[in-house]
Amino acid sequence: MSEKDHRVSRRQFLNYTLTGVGGFMAAGMLMPMVRFAVDPVLKKGVDQDLVAVAQVDDITAEPKRVDFKVNQVDGWHESEEPRSAWVYKDKDGEIVALSPICKHLGCTVNWAGDKAHPNQFYCPCHDGRYYKDGKNVAGTPPMGPLDGYVQKVKDGTLYLGKAKPRGGA
Ligand code: FES
């Protein structure tokens, strides 16, 4: 190849230079905007943290309602959200923590709220019922079991995190 083939014309030089500088400036302007938009998504939500709700020794086989608050981060807005759970020990002594939110239309279920079915969770909105383990009673409006809370026991204290669907029908 001759030296002539490698020569860059003034027009090409200006094109390369302006494209490079323009790209650099565009990246410099876009990066903060992209980071601003994506940052909350990348941050671990405080909502995922576990909250102390009860002493394990106080939990019996009878479901008891515990109320607690979690820090909720929604984008740049931080707030304290009230939560509650039905907590009890099953026949094996394992702690069960169920969400009180009915899987039909979101009303709040109560333990033994229906005199005709004293050992079940009852949703008064449309007579929805759940067995003690949270499974929905067939023939009542809810189509799935109550959500279960992520839980952890440490030093005799029960900590709850997020309520998660447990599957089943
Ligand atoms: S909202 Fe619970 S049964 Fe309809």
Q: So what's the pLDDT on residue 47?
A: 45
**What is 46-164's CATH superfamily?**
Rieske [2Fe-2S] iron-sulphur domain (2.102.10.10)
**How many A from CA of 122 to the centre of ligand 1?**
9
Average pLDDT for 134-162: 96
Q: How far apart are CA 86 and CA 48, in angstroms?
A: 19
Residue nearest to atom 1 of ligand 1 (CA): 105
Q: Which residue has the higher pLDDT, 168 or 22?
A: 22
Q: Which of 123, 129, 137 to mutate to test the pocket of ligand 1 (most atoms within 8 A of CB)?
A: 123
**C-alpha distances in Å from residue 103, one per residue of 49, 64, 111, 117, 135:** 24, 19, 15, 19, 10
Structure confidence at residue 65 (pLDDT): 97
Instruction: Give residue 75's pLDDT.
Output: 79
pLDDT the model gives residue 2: 56
Q: What is the mean pLDDT of residues 2-18?
A: 78
Which token pair is 13? 């030089």
Mean pLDDT for all residues in the chain: 88
The domain segmentation of the chain, as residue ranges, is: 3-42, 46-164
Ligand 1 pocket residues where CB is under 6 Å: 102, 104-107, 123, 125-126, 128, 141-142
| pLDDT (tens digit per residue) in 19-51 | 888 888 888 888 877 776 766 555 554 445 899
